Amino acid sequence: MKAQFGSVVTDQTIQDAFARMARPISAEVRAKALECYKANSCDTGTGGAVSVAYADGFGENVWRQVTKMEFILQALTYPEIGKIQYVSARGDVSKAISDMNAYIAQGVNVIVIYPDAGEAMLPVVQEATEAGIKVVLHNGPAIGTSGKDYLTNVKEDICGLGVALVDAVKEGNPEAKNVVELGGTPGNTLSSTWQGCADPETDKKGLKVLTKLDTNWTQEGTFSAVSAALAQNGNVDGWMYEYADGFRGAIRAYQTAGKPLDTVAALRTDEQGIFCDWEDAKNPNFKLFYSSAYNITTRIALTAALRSIAGEKIPADLQIPFSLKPVKKGLCNRDLPMETSVSTTVDAEMLKAMFKN
């Protein structure tokens, strides 16, 4: 797992989480994981006294479902965990709050949360912490004060992402002169953060940012944005974007415009559909760099909570480094959903069972 992130991770909590991820999965554990996944609540059969829950703000897409399975598989490495629960608020803020209240009333020991609702979740998160529950955030927006209002926040180095995206464009094409920055929904903090850190680097590397365009994190939105950029600017040397699956729309934009894919795409995530498109393009001048969709953050979050229960001191923030790498053949598996991250630790057999029609 260390190689996946391009650097040696020194934090003991993350190292512990990685070690558990690497454990082989027996047929018995595989069957139990699928049971937990489908039922959203299960007894692990270990007789353990610890009860853990994953409160998802919105769980209705492939990334969220794979991240859910990562949580379940990590929980099954702990014999002290006797019960696993999962709930999705389906994007409803009031339901997200009531889901947390339900877990507090049950007296669960651990709640891992993706706080899609942002600061609206803070009062109930504080209530859970005051009740002695180990609450850990992952991936989503930071709320309140980490280490005080909740145990810790497992997050990506978003500023580091911006720098890495610029470096990848120059690695892919040392002669690159211009780039376009693609973002998600208007005003979102993810896009604005990495772009704010990328912009000084583009100046240092002799790159000009032609424009910044919103895509709403959809393929259609990306198609429209890239079509407009190509019409206005002609050739674009490089594209920087946090959503690999969305960039599939960019490829269609090139095809529709009748332009060759002679460009560099530096992307944050690694949904495998983009790799299938790259293979299909058969264009050596189409350079693609990617990092990870970080489904594993729920695993790290759970390990942080269990280590805290065992008396270990946990940092207020657990930040995962970014490293982009060039695409290679063999990453495309057309038997799986195209939205599946190639860096997930959930193996192909399990993924097929999860998404079997």
> Tokens at residue 217, please?
């994190």
Domain identity same for 115 and 186: no
**pTM summary value:** 0.85
d(CA 293, CA 91): 20
Are 31 and 79 part of one and the same domain? yes
Q: What is the pLDDT of residues 100-121, one digit of tens each?
A: 999 999 999 999 999 888 899 9
**Separation of alpha carbons 293 and 317, rounded Å:** 19
**Would you say residue 212 lies in a domain?**
yes
In-domain check, residue 355 = no
One domain, residues 11 and 138? yes
Strands in 217-337 per DSSP E: 238-241, 264-267, 287-290, 317-320, 325-326
Q: Are residues 251 and 274 in the same domain?
A: yes
The answer to whether residues 49 and 310 touch, using CB atoms and an 8 Å cutoff, is no
**Interacting residues of 8 by C-beta distance below 8 A, sequence separation 6+:** 2
Q: Which domain holds residue 162?
A: 158-290
Any idea what the Cα angle at residue 288 is, between residues 325 and 158, rounded to 5°? 55
Alpha carbon 137 to its chain centroid, in Å, reads 13
Residues 6+ apart with CB under 8 A from 206: 177
Same domain, 90 and 181: no
| Statement to judge: residues 101 and 49 lie in one domain | yes
Residue 219 lies in a domain: yes
Chain segment 281-323, per-residue pLDDT in tens: 999 999 999 999 899 999 999 999 999 999 999 999 998 877 8
User: Which helix (H) or strand (E) segment is 177 a member of?
Assistant: none
Give the closest residue to 41 by CA, choosing from 73, 106, 85.
85
Structural domain includes residue 342: no
Instruction: Classify residue 349: in a domain, yes or no.
Output: no
Count the domains in the chain.
2
Side chain identity, residue 303: T
348 in a structural domain? no
DSSP structure class, residue 321:
P
pLDDT per residue as tens digits for the range 239-287: 999 999 999 999 999 999 999 999 999 999 999 999 999 999 999 999 9
Higher-pLDDT residue of 167, 63: 167
* Residue that the structure tokens 């729309």 belong to: 249
* Whether residues 28 and 126 fall in one domain: yes
- 40 and 15: one domain? yes
Is residue 133 located within the same domain as residue 47? yes
Pair (198, 224) in one structural domain = yes
Q: Is residue 173 part of a domain?
A: yes
Q: What is the pLDDT of residue 3?
A: 46
Domain shared by 310 and 240, yes or no = no
Same domain, 30 and 104: yes
